[in-house]
A and B are shown apart, each in its own frame.
Chain A
Amino acid sequence: MASGVRPRVKVPRSASAGETITIKTLISHQMESGQRKDSDGNTIPRSIINRFVVDFNGENVLDVKMEPAISTNPYFEFEAKVPESGDFHFTWYDDDGSVYEDTQTIEVS
């Protein structure tokens, strides 16, 4: 599933120090549940993103354990505190070992 997976992340460009901001993320992924069968009646093996981690300047914001009940093209909305200027680092971990990453910079005034 490593092909065609693309993250989409919305982080404000700037904030004031200590402000709480809202972040939204989307990533394209089939999230094959392991519950479906193909036309021959064989179970399609599970293949999902099983973990999503958000860090800011090396400190953790959110760490999600994801199960097959998360919908195709996973979406998350959550809040983060921004103490200083820096980088948000987003990481999605795939069952197949693939890792998808994105980084967004925010300026704190």
Chain B
Amino acid sequence: MHRRELQEQYEKLLSNFLAGDREAQLYMAQQLSKSLVTQDIAPEDIVDFHIQALEKLVQMPEPVRESFQLLLEMMMEYGNTYRQHNVLRDKQKQLESEIDLAVVMQQTMLPQVLPEFEGVEFGLISVPAKKMSGDYYNILQENDVTFSVAIADIVGKGIPAALCMSMIKYGMDAQYGLTPATRLHHLNIVVEQNIDPSMFVTMLLGNYDTARHSFRYAVAGHEPGFFYRACEQRFYDLEGRGLVLGVLRDAQYPEYELNLEVGDMIVLMTDGVSERKVGMHYLNRQELTNLIQGELAHTAQEIAENLYRRLLLMTNYELPDDHTMIVIRRTK
């Protein structure tokens, strides 16, 4: 709307108001002010509307007329602040769309499709707490019978963690065919040289041989996963010692091996899964395995998804940290 029209609208409003239709006109004024805000009309403009409308409608004593000059001046800085707010609002939109682009970029670093192997099923879920994730994961076919699994948690969240994640990804791309311990050893050197001292990365790397159904892995300070023995119907902690990545250049990583029978299952996760506050207390590992136990009849993918939903429900739909879970089950 043009300034003149707005001016006329205000004048009509004031005239009706002064004629006695008080509350109705105040209600109209409220609606008008909402519309003016969307048209970027500043506070000092309103004062100006008021002065001009008054001059037409009533005889103003000179001091009253003069006093509006003062009010107008007082409003100037509010107007400036208002304009600044509008600029910041636009800037925020721009930042958000930039982050959205980065999120798309980040998605390309994560596997788009999982490999398929006879006798093994996968479940995978990864949900960032903010827009960008500090969790990295990969399941990659190494050869006809072997796939590698990686899960990592970059300590910290959001953009800094996401930037660090690209380093992990590129570092790993150059490690085709190596053992988990060697890969962690190399990655640790890369991370140690490139990461800010306040940051570090925890990680679990493993190779799964689908011919023998053996899983060899090494751990760098990562949240222990679970190993489910179907014949015992029991969950064990996925053991493994090793220093977090990025702290000590010469860190060595021992390797561990598990042999899976039919129905056995490996559950890997980041601490966003396990460190969940339910009411006043943190969920313990026993409670977590009880939850998984309740989902065992489902496919690996359903286990991962259902657990995510159940935890979300229990924690009042709050996701304080990036949540990533990988389920690997031997099916035959």
Q: Do A and B originate from a single complex?
A: no
